[in-house]
Structure formats: structure tokens, C-alpha cells
Amino acid sequence: MSLRLRLVLTGALAILLSLGVSAFGLSALFGTHVERRAIAEMSAQLDQVLAGLDLAGGQVVLTGRPADPRFLQPYSGYYWQVTLSGQTLRSRSLWDREIELPALPLAADDQAVPLRFEGPQDQMLLAAVRQVILPARLGAQQATAFVALDTAEIEQARRAFVADLTPYIILLAGVLIAGGWAQITIGLRPLVWLRERVGTVSVDPEARMGTNWPAEVGGLARELDGLLDARALDLDRARRRAGDLAHGLKTPLQALLGEAARLRETGAVKEAAEIEEVVAAMHRIVDRELSRARRQSDRAPVRSDLRRVLERILAVIRKTPDGRSLDWSVDLADGLWVALDHADLSEALGAVLENAARHARRAVHISAARRDGMIRLEVVDDGPGIPADQRDAMLARFARLDEGGTGMGLAIADEILRSVGGQIILSGECDEPRPDTGLCVRLSMPEPDQTHPKQA
């Protein structure tokens, strides 16, 4: 279950519980308010009953009755009664029933008190009860009087109130839940951005989380940037070690090969073979170190923007003595990504472009397109080219046609591309024929896995 769904469900449950408690409280408060109003109304009616008592024929009688007609309807739920010494006066609604009151609570003189007791049909009544001393003209006797109503009417009013309140409670619950969902969605949006940014960082070694984050996730972003910087430093250190090793051994290995060739010419074939075997073993060590450095960057999916890397390399080569005088033309579409990290792609392209700059006479043309699920980059120079029977050999280490260079560039570029399923082909013709083609170097590079998020 997602964090958002958990928060929404928890918030919705809290809202529903709170509104349920509120509805119950409002219903109880409304019932209490209705009871107070009923007690106040019955107290007024009780005053009318006591004020209507008079003496006739030696008996206390009620000459002025409450005006509410429900006191005249039998068992209507509205009743009054006055109990005197040996005499009881009651409303017609009580018919022939006399109600015996329970013990009365203490109250101030002539103060009506609320009381609940059973009515003539075993229903619960709410009454306003008073104990008074009648005036001297009425015998100065003690009287107990009450006006009562059936509590079913109060319950009915309460249920009607709840029925009227329920739609608004439901509407309010919906509004609060929707507001909570919107609040949670907006509040958690930085986590969505964080996930997207982590996806970008995972495929672009140069990307970082940045600092434009809320305080709650800013610390996490800084920690991630620290880890990325440390990883980049380790990778760079490993590459430097591999490069230092390769360059440090280049001259001694070349010297040993020259010594082996000299010994072979003098007839020391066995000694020459032993030296060449040692050189081959040292080559394997160098290759293993280079592969190990590259594998450090292959632990996570990587990709690079071909145009961006190419423009960086060209900006440097155009400033070199070989590249300054050449006409560089680039025919490259945007959005071409290859499954190589920036360092490996830069090393491979740099070797190919340096070779083109060294042998071109006037111009170098660069183009790229998608072909058969691969990105095919062609670097065409107008130099002398390479004889067809020697092109494959030029991809071997230390292979050279002239005295310039070390013979390592194209070989390293070929190894880099083959490590990801690509290749380099040296040809005298390109996909789009050009009249001034000397050598066409075709680099086939795989596209990155399309399931990975794209870099912004």
C-alpha cells in the first residue's frame, strides 16, 4: 500500500470518526436544548394552572385552564395535575388516571423542577413540577402541581434534526476528505520529484539532486549528492590508475617489442619469442585493469547524450594544431542517446576524431542516425585513407601507418564499443557516399534501455 493511500485512508477515518462524534454531540445538544425549551414552556403553563385555582362550594376548582387544546384530548401526551390534601385536579387528557409522583428533588420555594416518570400509558413523561402553599383564601394548604409531555415528541424532534443534519455531515465529510487528499498530494509532491530526480541521476553520472528542495527532504538530497560525489571520485581515481598504468607501460612495452624484433633479426628466435610472451602477458594485465575501471561504471544503467559529448570534444580538437585548420561539419539530430557513460564515450570519440584530424587534408564530416536499433556515427575525412587489406589490422594495439600517434587510439575505442555490444568499422565508403572520402570510421553504439527515465 502506498504512503499516499495510507495517509488518505487514515485521514478519512479520522474525519469520519470526528464527524460522527460531532453529529452525536450535536444531536445530544439539540435534545438538551429542546428539553430546556419544553421545561420553560411547561413552567409557563404550570403558572397558568396555579393561577386558575379558586374556591367553589368549599372545594378547590380550576376556573382558568391552559389554552393548549391537547390538554383536552385523552392520552394526547400533554397532561397537568394538581394534588391537594384529599383532592386531585387533573387535565381531561389524563382521563380517569391519577399519576403518583416519585420523590421530588430539593428545590427552591415555588421553583419548578424537571422530573421524569411514567405516564398513563406507560410512556416516559418529562414534567415541570412545583410544590406550593396555596393562599389563605384557598385554605393555605400545600399543593403539588405538574405539567408533563410525552418524551417521544422530544425524541422525534431529535431524529428530525439528525435527519436534516446528515446530508450536511456527508457533504462536509466529502469536502474534508477531498481537501485532505489534495493536501497530501501537494505535500508529497516533493517525494515524486525526488523519485524522478533519482531516476535521472541513476542514468546520468554528472547529474546531481541539487538544492531546491523543501527542508524535510533537503537533508536527504544533500546526502545523496555526497554519495554521488564520492562515487564519482572513486570512479575517476580508478580510471586514472588504469590510464597511468597503460601510459606508464606503453613505452617499455614498445621498447621490448623493438628489442624482440632486433633479436629475431639476429637469429635469436627463442629469446624474441620469450620477450613477446612477456609483453603479451603485460598487455593482458593492462587490459584487465582498463576493464575493471570500466566495470565500476557499469553497475548501474548509464547513457550519454551523443550531441553534447561530441560538441565538447570538438571544442577541444578545433583548438589543436591538427584540427584548427580543418572544416568540421556536423549533421547530428537531437535526442540521440547511447548506452555508454560520458567518460567512455568521450575516450572513444576523442580517439576517432584525433585520428581524423591528423590525417584529413581540408575537412571532416560527422553524421549520426538510428539504424537497426543502434546509433550509427560516421566520421569521414578527406585524407589518404587506409588500404582495404590493412583496415582490420588498424584496430589492433600499436598498429600504425605512419610515425605519428601511438597506435592505441582506435584499438581502445574499439574495445570500449565492443564492451557494450557495439563496434568500429573502417571503410572507404559511407552510408551516404561522399566524393572526397578518404577514410570513413563507422561507430555502431547501442541505445540505452528505453525503460529507464529520460534525463531532463
Among 8, 15, 453, CA closest to 187: 8
Residue-wise pLDDT tens for the chain (456 aa)? Answer: 678 888 889 989 999 999 999 999 999 999 999 999 999 999 999 988 888 888 887 788 888 778 888 988 998 899 999 988 878 888 898 888 888 888 777 655 567 889 999 988 888 999 999 888 888 888 888 888 999 999 998 899 999 999 999 999 999 999 999 999 998 888 888 888 887 878 777 666 667 777 788 887 788 888 888 888 887 787 777 777 776 666 666 667 767 777 788 888 888 888 888 887 887 777 666 666 666 555 554 544 577 889 999 999 888 888 888 888 889 999 888 889 988 878 788 888 888 898 888 888 889 999 998 887 889 999 998 888 777 777 776 676 544 455 444 455 677 788 888 888 888 888 877 767 777 778 888 899 998 874 343 332
Phi, psi of 340 (to 5 degrees): -140, 150
Residue 453: count of CB within 10 angstroms of its CB: 15
CA distance 117 to 124: 6
CA distance 24 to 251: 91
**Pairing status of strand 327-331 against strand 363-371:** parallel
Q: Which amino acid makes up residue 337?
A: W
Helix (H) or strand (E) holding 350: helix 342-359
Hey, which CATH number is domain 221-295, 1.10.510, 3.40.50, 1.10.287, 1.20.120?
Answer: 1.10.287
pLDDT at 403: 46
Q: What b-and-e string marks burial along 288-327, b requiring 16 or more CB atoms within 10 Å of the CB?
A: ebbeebbebbeeeebbbbbbebbeebbeebeeeebbeebe
Q: Which amino acid makes up residue 157?
A: A
Residues 343, 416: contact at Cβ < 8 Å? no
Following CA atoms 363, 369, 373, 375 in sequence, which dihedral angle do they give, to the nearest 10 degrees?
40
pTM: 0.49
pLDDT at 250: 61
**C-alpha cell, 219:** 537533508
Residue 106: count of CB within 10 angstroms of its CB: 6
Distance of CA 214 to the CA centre of its chain: 14
**C-alpha cell, 288:** 584487465
Distance of CA 267 to the CA centre of its chain: 75
Residues 45, 68: contact at Cβ < 8 Å? yes
In the beta sheet, which residues pair with residue 441? 379, 426
Instruction: Quote the strand ranges of 24-134, DSSP E.
Output: 53-56, 59-62, 78-84, 87-90, 113-118, 124-133
* Segments making up each domain of the chain, as ranges: 3-157, 221-295, 304-446
Class in CATH terms, 304-446: alpha beta
pLDDT at 406: 43
